[in-house]
Structure 1
């Protein structure tokens, strides 16, 4: 029985185009492309991508073998051992008894079908077990880090607030994020049987608050709430602190006139990667937004 593994070649998953780069170079600027709370990429390869912790969920992409070559080529080159016209040495009886597998290079189906992209296509070739395919554009730890990056799934950006849903003019609304929910998220991508792997780790580094109206003040003044040493952001409201300025929050200066303000919280995740052989580095930050309605009322008082 002959087994083969599909190997999608190219230096970066297709959705890296969202960051203004091409297939041969990883993105370098801040990210902004995302689907919901997931950075996604279509992967039709033998590369497995698995979220191993954080984010309350993940995805696993499995191998899908593809055997689509001509019968004459199969018999002459892989069974009878005849060399190909390009000089590729033939295989006798499909290398039966040897430890390894056949690989086939294919164009990433998610990139534009161009002449350059089609140069990734290769016929089946043999690779000994536990070795990285020795062809041009074969995956590297950095490439696997790109696949892992594009499968990061983080929690919805919904902050804790006090008061909840309804605030009062000139009294602060406290905002914070629970460190337990927004823990670092790790995703691992690997090429089975080769020892090639990479892991990306995303951790929240800042929260930006947009009150939804110019008639408001933010705490801090620039609206950027940093992460505390314990991984949380902001401070939960404590009884008796209603008139204090929170480390992270908003003070509304005008009441809502029927429609609530749409308070926007944008959480930035810093993303790094490590791989086999001591490889590693930084990847573009991911920023995810969430909006929450806030009603603001005037303080009611009675004059005597």
Structure 2
């Protein structure tokens, strides 16, 4: 049986795993995301010692995902200055195995479609709301890339009255990530989200921003389902608020069976937190299949 390596390269931690093509995770290790000089050689050695036949990498971005581009596999203009322009993919080529490469949120979307809450669907948005906000998008069975890849966490939103000055994005003064990610919640209220669970005003405002962003995704991508993950979404009281406000925003303009069953349309992640790892496994499986074809 093939052994597929999975590297979920996030902004906070690197999750290294080995799994089967069927999505069974056999081994796992986590290390903090330091500079490339501090962790890349260690990761290459780990996969080499675990006898993997292929590797799937889901990397934090922005990153190059077009195989025909000179930027393919490189980390681009990230706030993590030590990683800027680092050729992440090439560092693993000495393993001599097929490698699939995409963004961390795209592989999470792939994991949900392959193993989780979106089986049988081909047009899906996976949104993670945590330290940042990122969206993985699959359209007609293909992960969306285009000129780079979706940066849907940075769409511009309308600042709610009285909330001026609370956007924490260094690039934009009213973007989704800057207004609704975990650091913005802490900046606005002086505490981390999990310390504010009993403050309904916190989640009323948060759900307003989430619903505005998600309504835009509904209109632009026409997904069959939207999956919400990440640390902020552990505040599950957000889900009914977001669903209600998305329908209010759409105001009856779209009439579909999916929206008529809103509780099944905007859903929690279905992979017990492993959607990124599982998506990397599927990415590696596809790379192995292509190499054998």
* TM score, norm. by length of structure 2: 0.19
The answer to which structure has the higher helix fraction is: 2
- Report which structure shows greater RCO (CA 8 Å, sep ≥6): 2
The answer to which structure has the higher strand fraction is: 1
Instruction: Kindly name which structure, 1 or 2, has the bigger radius of gyration based on alpha carbons.
Output: 1
* TM score, norm. by length of structure 1: 0.18
